[in-house]
Structure 1
Amino acid sequence: MSEEALWFLLVGVLLMFVALARGPIARLPLTGAMIYLAVGVVVGPGVLGLVHADLADNASTLAVLAEAGLVISLFSVGMHLRVRLLDPLWILPLRLGVLAMAISVALMFGFGLAMGAAPGVALFLAAALAPTDPVLANELRVQEAGDAEPVRFALSGEGGLNDGAALPFALLGLALCGVHVTGMANAATFALSLVWGVAGALLVGAVLATLCVRLVFHLRTRYGEAVGLDGFIAIGLMSVAYGTALLLHAYAFVAVFAAGVALRHEELRATGERRPAETLETIQLGERVEAAKDPQRAHVLLAESMTGFTLEIERFAELSVLLIIGCVVSAHWREMLDWRAVSFALVLVFVVRPLAVLVSMIGARADSRQRCLMAWMGIRGVGAFYYAVWGLAEAGDVLRPVLPAALDAIVISVLLHGSTAGYVLGRYYRHEDARRARERARGKAAA
């Protein structure tokens, strides 16, 4: 049997297995990410050898693939966060996605220097390991648009924010490694590029998403045009936002996330507090075309159609990138066993992440259970892999030590967090349900 046929067979069986066994997988300490990663390891050079080459030798290609997966996921996460921009709930993901991420970079940078790494390598490694992952955190994400449960909202928003927030630290690390980076001539230009990188990205994402939604709404409700192909609109918007931000030297990951948030905010502004699912319940399948032209329902139908589409392609992106990561793990497992690489991953998961979250949450509106859950659930995955292979593509062997450390962090996180997520979240939700029941009982007794 040819290698091509084996690949078609493998991917087909894997897709059907995950779809058909979704229920049992959800009931076990198991996730799709764990399955994809394990299959990638098995088919890689270290076991069956269906992938003969070391994929890390094509770092630029891997970076583009991981980059595409992140763009899709960041846009999807943004569209799920259906909370008004001035709502205090946004403080939680801002604390995690910016403050906790910066603390993580500082702590990991210090640990890297203590381990004898060069300053540039230590800083780039810290930046690569600091972001949590928006692709693999499906169990932790908000369940639907309008879900305002604090832990889910905080972890979802964090995953959307910190992949872009880590970029300036990674760029500074590259500059320290001798790579020419625009905007790194001196402290003033770096500060200016940092401010513009964030502000420009937010502006690009918000403006493009708002213009896109209003144009589509106008065409549909006024002329009955541009109906259907909402998936094309979703891919087009995320691609335009990402490309425009890159051209303007803004932080493109932030721009894509901002576009998703702005698109959802347009729907929230137009339709009010009623959840989108409640509105869609009244639309029959054969009425969707007419509903798309209805000014009262056009916004919610567009937003929900785009959200559903991006969720589907996000699952394909997760499978593809995790298979690739598994193949790279299969080729580099010996380097991953080096005690220095393992120590970076263990310190990150068991020391740096909990400490960074607990410090960043001082004074926040979150109880001890919520803080502990956020401190534990810092999943690393596609974001860390992207930065590791992007660093290889930019700086070559200077940043070679980053790859095994990043792979160790991914494997440990996928296995450890994936196997414990269901249990710890289940305990938390049961506690919250019991607390709300007690509050209702006290309220009835008082009445």
Structure 2
Amino acid sequence: MVAVTTVLVIIIVWSAVSSPLDRRGITSALFFMVVGFIVTLLLPQVLDLRVEALAAERIAEVGLALLLFSDATRLNLRALRSQLSWPTRLLLIGLPLSILVGFGVGLVVFPGIAVASAFLLATMLAPTDAALGQKVISDTAVPPRVRQALDVESGLNDGLGVPFFLVALAIANAELETGFTTAVFTNMTLQIGWGVAAGLVAGLFGGLLFRLGDRQGWIAPEWRQILALVSALLSYAIAFQLGGSVFIAAFVGGITFGYTVGPVRSVVSMLAEQAGDLLAAITWIAFGALALSLAIPHITWQVVVYAILSLTVVRMLPVAIALAGRGARVQTVAFIGWFGPRGLASLVFALIALERGVPEAEVVLTTVVVTVALSILLHGLSSVPLVAAYHRWYSAHSSRTPDAAESVSTIVPRRRREIPGASGIGQA
């Protein structure tokens, strides 16, 4: 109970000072990770959070699914349909290229690593984190089209990355019974197909009942938020049972639920988002207390180099290729390329790999942990100054070029995290 008490105290402290810290770029993930690490370093017995990998995996998965669902409920489908170019290219071109570039970098940086392990590492670090990117996505100083591209990409790429990861894990453990292309296609069909189906079923079921009950005045006020939360959990549960991607199910479920319930979607999913925040907080404290602490003795210069390249070249080069010819200026391409944080999805993949076992686990898992930790630090601290710099450039650019690609009208609904002037620049 000492560990549980300590975790609760840490979360309460963050809650009390979250706003001024967040404005300075100290995100919740950064705070929880650092505090968890420091407490473990100074008082090793206080945060003894040794839990089964499977339990930790479920906590991280459900937390990410709830955040994906709540974010997706606020997407405007009409605006999304008319502005699919950037997010589609980031997903269908950028994501596969990130895996390929990460694979090549892994073979160069770790010359003795098995080919299968290098490919596995690349798939684990390809997805970006929707939750860690919220500070940028919700900042009104960033052009709506850029925010939407990052939002949709981060919402779907972890789900789309699951088939590649599962195939890579099977190859690494010599469990693949078919050809690579067949395995990827089969896994992708199952993960996407069942994930979409689960999201549609849960989103429609919860959304239609909410709409009916709301119109008739049948829903008690205290159950409005609970209905949305349970709909999110239902999308996760159905996808899990069917063998589909729980992340795709959550995102599709959120879009379907939000479209079905109508304008109130902006407020009824707040409990789901807050529950996701709570589970993510527990995950990041455990990450700092256990994963980061255990990984430190195994960190080598190769691990650090790969982590840095993963956050820069491996991410930014594919983004530049994906957006080539789409009218985006180099400043926008660099901004989108940099803000691709690694987080909960990569940790979930690492926990699955830890549970099932993987060759060269020490190198692979240590590299994932260091990359995620470095991402939390760098993306958090750089968000405020880089958003400010990008806003200054965009303001000047859009005034000179009104028809700039970045200025295309795009509706990005207001989020709970959106505070007028949160960056010191943007206004709601």
**TM surpasses 0.5:** yes
Question: Whole-Å Cα distance in 1 between the matches of residues 324 and 400 of structure 2?
Answer: 27
Q: Deviations over 1:150-174 (max 9, x none)?
A: 2211111111111111111111111
Please name the residue that 1:133 is paired with.
129
Compared with structure 1, are the counterparts of its residues 409 and 188 closer, same or farther at alpha carbon in structure 2 (3 Å cutoff)? closer
| Preserved CA contact (<8 Å) 2:232 2:272 | no
Structure 1 spans left out of the alignment, 5+ residues: 268-298, 441-447
The structure-2 alpha-carbon separation of the partners of 1:187 and 1:10, relative to structure 1 and needing over 3 Å to count, comes to: closer
Q: TM-score, normalised by structure 2?
A: 0.84
1:17 to 9, 13, 16: 13
Alignment of 1:242 onto 2:259:
no
Provide the C-alpha distance between the structure 2 equivalents of 1:58 and 1:333, rounded to a whole number of angstroms.
Answer: 21
Q: Which residue matches 2:314? A: 352
Residue 75 (structure 1) aligns with: 69
2:157 paired with 1:162: yes
The letter of the residue matching 1:389 is L
Aligned residue in 2 for 1:307: 269
> How do residues 18-97 of structure 1 correspond to structure 2 at under 5 angstroms?
18-44=14-40, 46-51=41-46, 55=50, 58-84=52-78, 87-97=81-91
- What secondary structure sits across from 1:84 in the alignment? helix
Deviation at 1:10, TM superposition (A): 5.7
Distance 1:10 1:60 in 2: 20
Tell me the TM-score normalised to structure 1 length.
0.81
The one-letter amino acid of 1:300's match is P
CA distance in structure 2 between the partners assigned to 1:412 and 1:149 by the alignment:
27
Aligned residue identity for 1:48:
L
**Residues 186/345 of structure 1: CA separation in 2 closer, same or farther (3 Å cut):** closer
1:341/1:53 CA distance change after superposition, 3 Å: farther
- Judge conservation of contact 2:239–2:245 (CA < 8 Å) in 1: yes
Question: 2: CA distance between counterparts of 1:125 and 1:54?
Answer: 26
Structure with bigger gyration radius = 1
Q: CA contact under 8 A between 1:70 and 1:383: conserved in structure 2? A: yes
Q: 1:338 to 1:84 in 2, by over 3 A?
A: same
Q: Residue in 2 aligned with 1:392? A: 354
2:180, 2:19 → 1: CA distance? 55
Distance across 1 between alignment mates of 2:55 and 2:360: 19
Number of aligned residue pairs: 397
How far apart, CA to CA, are the structure 1 residues paired with 2:143 and 2:200? Answer: 21
What displacement does 1:39 show? 0.6
Deviations 1:419-439 (A, max 9, x none): 111111112223334455567
**Displacement of 1:415 after TM fit?**
1.1
After superposition, the C-alpha distances for 1:193-216 in whole angstroms (9 at most, x for unaligned) are 422422332233124312321222
Instruction: Answer yes or no: is the 8 Å Cα contact 2:202–2:235 preserved in 1.
Output: yes
Q: 1:438 to 1:177 in 2, by over 3 A?
A: closer
1:32-431 alignment runs, 5 A limit: 32-44=28-40, 46-51=41-46, 55=50, 58-84=52-78, 87-114=81-108, 115=110, 116-142=112-138, 149-178=144-173, 180=175, 184=178, 187-188=181-182, 190-222=184-216, 224-228=217-221, 229-267=223-261, 299-301=262-264, 303-327=265-289, 328-335=291-298, 337-395=299-357, 398-431=360-393
Deviation at 1:42, TM superposition (A): 1.3
Q: Is the CA contact (8 Å cut-off) linking 2:66 and 2:233 kept in structure 1?
A: no
Sequence identity (%) = 24
Structure 1 contact 230–305 (Cα < 8 Å) conserved: no
Whole-angstrom distance in 1 between the partners of 2:90 and 2:8: 36
Describe the shift of the 1:192–1:20 C-alpha distance in structure 2 as closer, same or farther (beyond 3 A): closer
The separation in 2 between residues aligned to 1:351 and 1:86, in whole angstroms, is 28
Q: CA deviation at 1:129?
A: 0.6
Paired residues of 1:113 and 1:122 also in contact (CA < 8 A): yes
